[in-house]
Amino acid sequence: MSKPLILVNLKTYKEGMGNHAHTIATAAQTVAQESGITIGIAPSYIDLHPIARHFMIPVYAQHVDGSEPGAHTGQITVEAIKLAGANGSLINHSERRLTLADIESSIKSLQTHKLVAVVCTNNDITSAAAAALTPEYVAIEPPELIGSGVSVSKANPDIIKRSVTAVHTVNPKVKVLTGAGIQSGECVKIAVDLGTDGVLLASSVVKAQEPIKILRDLVSKF
């Protein structure tokens, strides 16, 4: 069985800011080294540069705009996240939805700069649409399960299966992640057995008393 990507989104949880972000990154790096499984984290913009400089794990932005550098106040350009040390970015997260045109320009800009595009979607139909834009990853997350503590792998495995089929029908090279409520190695294994290349998750790690314990469990079936 091929090894999954585990991508931890720190969102804007206070348990994932500043020193807490460093604690989670330390745990992620330790578990990645122990297991040989890639564990990436997506910290807040404020923490992106220090985390990318201090750790060897892949670091992702939580959102990026497709705009060119210049007179665009408040925009986050791909150049800026690349200089800060990012390996890629989430795009169109359920908590940061974009227009189709915005998604396309963010993907193009990331790929121009050789960074990884992870486009989030909410069902199999939008997953197929996202795949047509040829990002490296499509991450299917049913919004009603996000942050719920109920795992998509157990509550709605069909949406994972349908999304994998939808994405690969459009473009077999696009990899698929899934997320929402992922909290254990069992959730990750189910997701991978259904054809995904890994998981995108947040609260189970970020809000844990001991994030390293959850991370060790997440990788335990591989």
Among residues 9 and 77, whose Cβ is nearest to ligand G3P?
9
Q: Which of 63, 104, 141, 168 is flagged as catalytic?
A: 141
CB of 31 to ligand G3P, least distance (A): 17
141 in active site: yes
Binding residues for ligand G3P (CB under 6 A): 9, 93-94, 141, 146-147, 179-182, 200-204
144 in active site: no
Structure tokens at 51: 């985390």
CB atoms within 10 A of CB 12: 10
Nearest residue (beta carbon) to ligand G3P: 203
CB of 38 to ligand G3P, least distance (A): 16
Among residues 135 and 181, whose Cβ is nearest to ligand G3P?
181
Question: 119-127 — which CB contacts under 8 Å span 24+ positions?
Answer: 119/91, 119/92, 120/90, 120/91, 120/92, 120/93, 120/94, 120/179, 120/200, 121/92, 121/163, 122/94, 123/159, 123/163, 124/159, 124/162, 124/163, 124/165, 124/166, 125/166, 127/163, 127/166, 127/167, 127/176
Q: Which of 63, 93, 104, 168 is flagged as catalytic?
A: 93
Can you name the residues that pair with 199 across neighbouring β-strands?
6, 178
Among residues 67 and 94, whose Cβ is nearest to ligand G3P?
94
CB of 94 to ligand G3P, least distance (A): 6
CB of 137 to ligand G3P, least distance (A): 12
Catalytic amino acids?
A: 93, 141
